[in-house]
Structure 1
Amino acid sequence: MNTRDYYFDNLKFLLITLVVIGHLIEPLNEDPVLRPIYLMIYTFHIPLFVLISGYFAKNIGSGDYLNKVISRLIVPYLLFESLYSLFDFWIYDRAELKFSYFTPYWLMWFFLSMILWKVAMPYIIRIRYALPIVIGIAILAGYANDAQYYASVSRTLVFFPFFLIGYYMDKSWIEKLRTTTMRIISGVGLILTYVIISSYGYMYKKEWFFGSFSYESLGHPEWSAGLYRVAVYVAAVLIGGMVMILIPQRSLPWISTMGTNTLYTYLLHGFIVLYLTAGDAYAHFTTTTEKLLLIPLGIMLTMVLSFSSIRYLFKWLVEPKMKLLLKHSQSRSNRKSQTE
């Protein structure tokens, strides 16, 4: 009996596609045609990805919880942080090779933050009113100029509320909103959001959506600057919510299957984007049509890297077997039964 939830596979494929497209158009994000698309993507795709990660982190009480953190997060993080550092040294012809395990290389911040969230969760969920507390800390973090890239501190704090929401979220919350009326409202809402961003997006900085900058560095040293982060949160919830309402629940040919391989796409696509950037490939994208071609290119790249054959080829690297190094942990219930 197949009990796989295609809804989340479909949603993950959409989000990883937006990640790839966002990274591909990032070098040209100031272009008047691409900027609204770039801003639209960044208003919600990171928070929504973090929320889904929190939703699938409900196995905190399992005996092999920490083993999975080590094998699925810490080890791949160390491997790919090293590989990206080596690739950067080679592709940009750096004078010095640097391994920055405590300052994640570009997209590797997500892995380090995931490690910190997963390690912290068993303790955080014991705290009363944990969600408003972590939201408050995230808002306050923006006032600290030293809480930025080191150890991914800023992003870890800023996006942690979405991870916690995902952990507490029940699928029924989404299903109750998936009425015909709400789908129409969501579709219209996303169109209006894009129109607003296209018209007024030049008025605000894209860095507000990165979660890695202090308010002062964004030009807002005033005491009320935290309200901007609140506005970013509200936008992420509203736009992300509309996207979640519109995602199909049924199995979609190709899409649902590829949505199970998003980890591979995330870790591997960065090498291709770096290669294009270092090779001055973007100098050839001069006309509006050529620049817009980056979007179908991002979709195609996502699909290729999401093939099962890619997973087969790189599984030894992305999901290394750690049975020989990790001790098997028994669940609490098993240990209890053995002592009785």
Structure 2
Amino acid sequence: MTLSTTLRPLRRRRTTRTAPLPQSGRDPFFDNAKFLLVVLVVIGHNWAVLVRDMDTVKAAYTVVYLFHMPAFVLLCGLFSRGFAGTAPQIRALLTRVLAPYLLFTVAYKALPTLLHDAPFSLMPTEPTYLLWFLVALFLWRITAPLWRAVRFPVALAVLVSLAAGLTGVGYQLALPRVLMFLPWFVLGLRLRPEHFHRLRTRAVRCTAPLVLAAALGLAYLNAPHINANWLYMRANHVELQTGPWEYLAMRLGLFVVSAALIAAFFALVPARRTAFTALGALTMFPFLVHGLLVQTGQAYGMYDLVGLLGAGALPLLAVFGVAVTVALSSAPVRRVLRPVVEPRFPRWLTPTDADSCGPLGSPMGRQTPAEKRLVTTDQASARDASSQS
């Protein structure tokens, strides 16, 4: 969905008041949430360079990382509710998730070669930097039907997540992160849009800023002792230098804290259409590209210069993150990057009976209207999944 098509209903409202508005099927609340979350992703990666040097940055960074990725994964689960493994859904997953992963893996591996003359090596099964999220999204979505087929899926996913931290799971296909973030995806599968809107009561909205402020204050007081590796969900208990029981207690505590911060975040997301609502459908563009800018800035010492500002670097990099997100979502940038961010599925690979293929390409006859809506919804959510980190 492009910016122009997203805004077209607003133009019709101004010119023809009596004409009924077309149903776009998009909820501005979720587009607003996705845009704000991808902004936090960009800001977090900009702050990461200065985390070791300043407690102020480390506190803000910690609070953001406690909830922004779990919230993103939660939305991915919500948008995967209609995924049933039909042929159109699989093709959308291949073009909107797997293909960009492979293309940007080449870009992120080539960047150190261009900047530092480092040897070029390509290991697609070992995701680099932020690209782990695309691998995880692919695997989560493929397994969505499985989680709908079992009882107590969230509890089971929590057990899988905890077990991953007690074992020596290698980083092939980002499996530690895939498994440790899994409960948030499965929880998203179980939720419905109305659950999010229930957070918009006056009491919750008034409490949300207090929750975020309290988390920020506690993070600042404990900044010297915070180990950010707990937040990345890729280290097991041995790498974190804790015993199994201490690890389990810490992970369960993180689940609770993250849930509180996620609820506070969604309570504060605007439910109405805003100036940035349309950008919420374009989060894959800033998500995939901004990391190249961050790594280039590091190579040229830009963050060292910004670090000289001390605590002033915190708001400066936050504003820069917002600007980068908006710029990378702009029409000219999208026009240039669309072939690698949103490539088309090759027509010659599409079977002639594609419209009559069911789950994983099996014949299923004529689709019902409900099944057609399911496919359309899933193709849209696959484009947005960046919904994107």
TM range (shorter): over 0.9
> What do the CA deviations read for 1:152-203 (whole angstroms, capped 9, x no partner)?
0100001111111111111111222311111001121111111111112332
**SS state at 2:102 partner:** helix
> Are 2:57 and 1:34 aligned?
yes
> What do the CA deviations read for 1:80-108 (whole angstroms, capped 9, x no partner)?
111111112222321x2111211101100
> What do the CA deviations read for 1:56-98 (whole angstroms, capped 9, x no partner)?
112223442211111111111111111111112222321x211
Could you tell me which of 83, 91, 94 is aligned with 1:70?
94
AA in 2 matched with 1:243: F
AA in 2 matched with 1:48: A
**SS state at 1:205 partner:** coil
| TM-score, normalised relative to structure 2 | 0.82
Report how far residue 317 of structure 1 moved: 1.2
AA in 1 matched with 2:333: I
Give the length in aligned residue pairs. 335
Task: Give me the CA root mean square deviation.
Answer: 1.8
> What do the CA deviations read for 1:18-54 (whole angstroms, capped 9, x no partner)?
1001101111112122111111110100000111111
| TM-score, normalised relative to structure 1 | 0.93
In 1, distance between residues paired with 2:98 and 2:199? 36
Could you tell me which of 173, 181, 192 is aligned with 1:170?
192
Report how far residue 3 of structure 1 moved: 3.5
In 2, distance between residues paired with 1:63 and 1:149? 30
Structure 2, unaligned stretches of length 5 or more? Answer: 1-21, 368-389
Q: CA distance change for structure 1 residues 337 and 294 in 2, over 3 Å: closer, same or farther?
A: closer
The question of whether the paired residues in 2 share the 8 Å contact of 1:148 and 1:212 is answered with no
Could you tell me which of 88, 112, 116 is aligned with 1:88?
112
Q: Which residue of 1 aligns with 2:380?
A: none
The question of whether the paired residues in 1 share the 8 Å contact of 2:161 and 2:179 is answered with yes
AA in 1 matched with 2:294: V
Q: Which residue of 2 aligns with 1:232?
A: 254
Report how far residue 119 of structure 1 moved: 1.6
The question of whether the paired residues in 1 share the 8 Å contact of 2:81 and 2:144 is answered with no
The question of whether the paired residues in 2 share the 8 Å contact of 1:177 and 1:245 is answered with yes
In 1, distance between residues paired with 2:185 and 2:355? 25
Q: Which residue of 1 aligns with 2:201?
A: 179
**SS state at 2:243 partner:** coil
In 1, distance between residues paired with 2:245 and 2:198? 39
In 2, distance between residues paired with 1:224 and 1:32? 25
In 1, distance between residues paired with 2:87 and 2:137? 19
Could you tell me which of 251, 261, 267 is aligned with 2:288?
267
Moved more, 323-332 or 170-179: 323-332
**SS state at 2:143 partner:** helix
In 2, distance between residues paired with 1:321 and 1:337? 25
The question of whether the paired residues in 2 share the 8 Å contact of 1:261 and 1:308 is answered with no
The question of whether the paired residues in 2 share the 8 Å contact of 1:207 and 1:213 is answered with yes
Q: CA distance change for structure 1 residues 122 and 276 in 2, over 3 Å: closer, same or farther?
A: same
**SS state at 1:33 partner:** helix
> What do the CA deviations read for 1:83-139 (whole angstroms, capped 9, x no partner)?
111112222321x21112111011000001111111222223212222211110111
Moved more, 13-22 or 186-195: 186-195
In 1, distance between residues paired with 2:286 and 2:366? 42
Identity %: 25
The question of whether the paired residues in 2 share the 8 Å contact of 1:148 and 1:214 is answered with no
